[in-house]
Chain A
Amino acid sequence: MASSLTLSGVTAGYGAVHVLEDVSIAVPAGATVALLGTNGNGKSTLMKCVMGLVRPSAGSIVAEIDGVRHELVGRSTEAIVALGIGFVPEGRRLFPKLTVTENLMLGAFRAAARPEIARNLDFCFETFPRLRERAGQLAGSMSGGEQQMVALARALMSAPRILLIDEPSVGLAPVLVRRTIDKIRELKDSRQLTVLMAEQNFTQAIRIADQGYVIVHGRIAFEGASAEALNNNELIRKFYLGM
């Protein structure tokens, strides 16, 4: 059974600074939803709200996992991960002085993921054969593209149902961005994930997104129910495509 994520009326900020203002987003079961917007519009903050790293001052965030509804606001991050929500943070955030294998093992820290460690590790190594070759290498010494693979694989080690990916394209060469995005689609299909992906790279994100939201100054400025709707939107033409 698939899983979905719904944010309604989320308001959040840091101290006196409001970053998100009454944001509502629906990520339907089995869909890939792109959260589009340039720097500083609140994409990462929204991701952190879902993960319990930033506490919203208003609104609710509900994850429906295998038919059970869970309110996420007020839960600790490890409890949210334990529900089955995986997170690939912006800039990858690996453990640079630990090996690739150790990085992956830490992704399976939650109790429910432990019995499946061997199978999930195999799956990760099958998906990213490069990581098997580099299993004993320190994560900090790898290239950007390889690090992004480790970050994705680490999130998969917790066997998530919903995957949040914050800016997978950051710091990668265009060809690697394309490859990473393809990989996300492949993973989504093979593991039947529900994906929420924040991305600046509109043209790449839209290739795999079923739906999209454009976020401007902490508000949802446009909601596109399909890739075409996004492609033909005025706002996007203006901000992203320079038309």
Chain B
Amino acid sequence: MRGWTFLLLAVLVAGAVYAAAAAVNNGYVFFAGYVVLQYVVLATAWNLLGGYTGYVNFGVAGFFALAAYGTVAIEKLAPLPLPAVILAGGAISGLLGLGMGYLTLRLRGVFFSIATLAMAVVAQTFVVNWNFVGGSAGAFVIRPQFTAWFHIDYIHYLFLLMLVLCVIVLATARLIERSRLGDGFAAIRDDELAAEAAGVPTLRLKLIATALSGAFMGMAGAPLPYYVTYLDPPSAFSLSYAVNTIAMPLIGGTAAWPGPLIGALLLATLQQLVTVTISSAVNLLIVGLMLVGFIIIAPRGIIGWFGIGEGKLRRRKRR
């Protein structure tokens, strides 16, 4: 499938999803769906670094929440249209990713992961002490009831924007997999020293990966204040964002773009169902049980059952 065909198909699917949600005509579908879509973006963004280059980032909440607080700041300073705010959030977290890359990418394996976790704590401390965005007391953001232009219900609008982000991030992930960039990422994941010896510019590629991954996580986080309307540091920087975001690609499979998509759809939908039927307290338990289960029955994720990834997709494209 060519890139444009894929994009067109993705847009059609996204349109169908939106139409289906609208057909149900229940506000809750949009509320719950927004969270699921947000996790599709987060999981796919995480996988750009974690799945393709093998660098496990535990600082998801840092990228996600910093962009959300960027939105709060922009709202207070000079309100912009939401798509522009999302781009700004992407820029903030992309820069954070680049900076984190410079500081930590000489670390490998678990040391890198610990550094990213620490980065999220630093970001949270920074926000707690930043009174302009509410500090530890949190910040209220007023969500308009309708959009200014087409008079769309604002929740529908947020849902739609997240759907667009899903299409963009999935198309990007797929493009990377099929490009030299993806080959370089795979080389880093397999054996970084060998990649370097073969002339792959490893530092540059890793910086591209951290910046891109961070930027998309930021874009996922930027609309958050409008969704929750009240943002406070402990919930915005909650570790559960990192845990969920890492579990989803692992469950779905990290080798190719359908993995994080499937994992996020499965896990986040289940969590939303459990939240309304039992309690949101069960959410992390579900993640734990599913991770243990899938590591046993599908070590390469759900896509591993179908033989997607691990060279197969890549081989097909070359012949």
Binding site for B on A (CB under 8 A): 51, 53, 76-78, 81-82, 87, 89, 93-99, 101-102, 105-107, 109-110, 113, 136, 138, 154-155, 158
Interface residues of B in 262-319 (CB under 8 A from A): 310-311, 314-315, 318
Stretch in B27-35, B159-167, B185-193 with 4+ CB within 8 Å of A: B185-193
Kindly provide the distance from the CB of B207 to the nearest chain A CB, expressed in whole angstroms.
13
Binding site for A on B (CB under 8 A): 180, 183-184, 186-187, 190-191, 193-203, 310-311, 314-315, 318
A77, A98, A105: the one contacting B196 at CB < 8 Å is A77
Query: Cβ of A87: which chain B residues have Cβ within 8 Å of it?
Result: 197-198
Given A102-B183, A106-B183, A109-B184, the answer on whether A95 and B200 have CB atoms closer than 8 Å is no
B186, B193, B201, B314: the one contacting A78 at CB < 8 Å is B201
Kindly provide the distance from the CB of A53 to the nearest chain B CB, expressed in whole angstroms.
7
Listed A/B pairs (13) with beta-carbon separation below 8 Å:
A51-B197, A53-B193, A53-B197, A76-B201, A89-B194, A96-B191, A97-B190, A98-B190, A99-B314, A106-B184, A106-B198, A109-B187, A136-B315
**A106→B195 contact, CB < 8 A:** yes
Task: Known A-B contacts: A78-B200, A95-B195, A109-B201. Give 13 more (CB < 8 A).
Answer: A76-B203, A77-B197, A78-B199, A78-B201, A81-B199, A93-B194, A95-B186, A95-B191, A95-B194, A101-B318, A113-B199, A136-B315, A158-B198
B183, B190, B202, B315: the one contacting A96 at CB < 8 Å is B190
Given A81-B199, A87-B197, A110-B199, the answer on whether A94 and B183 have CB atoms closer than 8 Å is no
Kindly provide the distance from the CB of A165 to the nearest chain B CB, expressed in whole angstroms.
11
Query: Cβ of B197: which chain A residues have Cβ within 8 Å of it?
Result: 51, 53, 77, 81, 87, 89, 93
B180, B203, B311, B314: the one contacting A109 at CB < 8 Å is B180
Kindly provide the distance from the CB of A179 to the nearest chain B CB, expressed in whole angstroms.
23
Query: Cβ of B190: which chain A residues have Cβ within 8 Å of it?
Result: 95-98
For the residues of B in contact with A, the DSSP-based class is: helix
A53, A102, A138, A158: the one contacting B199 at CB < 8 Å is A158
Query: Cβ of A93: which chain B residues have Cβ within 8 Å of it?
Result: 191, 193-194, 197
**B191→A99 contact, CB < 8 A:** no
Query: Cβ of B199: which chain A residues have Cβ within 8 Å of it?
Result: 77-78, 81-82, 107, 109-110, 113, 158
Of all A-B residue pairs in the complex, the 9 with the closest CB atoms, nearest first, are: A81-B199, A93-B194, A95-B190, A78-B201, A110-B199, A87-B197, A77-B196, A109-B200, A89-B197
Query: Cβ of A76: which chain B residues have Cβ within 8 Å of it?
Result: 201, 203
Query: Cβ of A94: which chain B residues have Cβ within 8 Å of it?
Result: 191, 194
Query: Cβ of B186: which chain A residues have Cβ within 8 Å of it?
Result: 95, 97-98, 102
**B201→A95 contact, CB < 8 A:** no
Closest to B199 in A: A81
Q: How far is the CA of A146 from the CA of B203 in the complex (A)?
A: 30
**A98→B198 contact, CB < 8 A:** no
Query: Cβ of A101: which chain B residues have Cβ within 8 Å of it?
Result: 318
B180, B193, B200, B311: the one contacting A98 at CB < 8 Å is B311
Q: How far is the CA of A87 from the CA of B315 in the complex (A)?
A: 26
Query: Cβ of B310: which chain A residues have Cβ within 8 Å of it?
Result: 97
Query: Cβ of A158: which chain B residues have Cβ within 8 Å of it?
Result: 198-199
**A99→B311 contact, CB < 8 A:** yes
**B311→A97 contact, CB < 8 A:** yes
**B311→A138 contact, CB < 8 A:** yes
Q: How far is the CA of A76 from the CA of B187 in the complex (A)?
A: 17
Q: How far is the CA of A77 from the CA of B198 in the complex (A)?
A: 9
**B201→A98 contact, CB < 8 A:** no
Query: Cβ of B196: which chain A residues have Cβ within 8 Å of it?
Result: 53, 77-78
Kindly provide the distance from the CB of A72 to the nearest chain B CB, expressed in whole angstroms.
14
Q: How far is the CA of A4 from the CA of B121 in the complex (A)?
A: 52
Query: Cβ of B191: which chain A residues have Cβ within 8 Å of it?
Result: 93-96
Q: How far is the CA of A98 from the CA of B194 in the complex (A)?
A: 13
Kindly provide the distance from the CB of B54 to the nearest chain A CB, expressed in whole angstroms.
11
Q: How far is the CA of A99 from the CA of B184 in the complex (A)?
A: 14
Query: Cβ of B201: which chain A residues have Cβ within 8 Å of it?
Result: 76, 78, 109
**B187→A106 contact, CB < 8 A:** yes
Query: Cβ of A136: which chain B residues have Cβ within 8 Å of it?
Result: 315
Closest to A77 in B: B196
Query: Cβ of B184: which chain A residues have Cβ within 8 Å of it?
Result: 106, 109
Query: Cβ of A81: which chain B residues have Cβ within 8 Å of it?
Result: 197-199
Q: Taking each of B193, B194, B202, which has the highest tally of chain A beta carbons within 10 Å of its own beta carbon?
A: B194
Query: Cβ of B187: which chain A residues have Cβ within 8 Å of it?
Result: 95, 98, 106, 109
Kindly provide the distance from the CB of A88 to the nearest chain B CB, expressed in whole angstroms.
8
Q: Taking each of B184, B187, B197, which has the highest tally of chain A beta carbons within 10 Å of its own beta carbon?
A: B197
Query: Cβ of A106: which chain B residues have Cβ within 8 Å of it?
Result: 183-184, 187, 195, 198, 200
Query: Cβ of A53: which chain B residues have Cβ within 8 Å of it?
Result: 193, 196-197
Kindly provide the distance from the CB of B208 to the nearest chain A CB, expressed in whole angstroms.
14
Q: How far is the CA of A89 from the CA of B190 in the complex (A)?
A: 15
Query: Cβ of A77: which chain B residues have Cβ within 8 Å of it?
Result: 196-197, 199
**A109→B198 contact, CB < 8 A:** yes
Q: How far is the CA of A94 from the CA of B197 in the complex (A)?
A: 10
Query: Cβ of B315: which chain A residues have Cβ within 8 Å of it?
Result: 99, 136
Kindly provide the distance from the CB of A99 to the nearest chain B CB, expressed in whole angstroms.
5
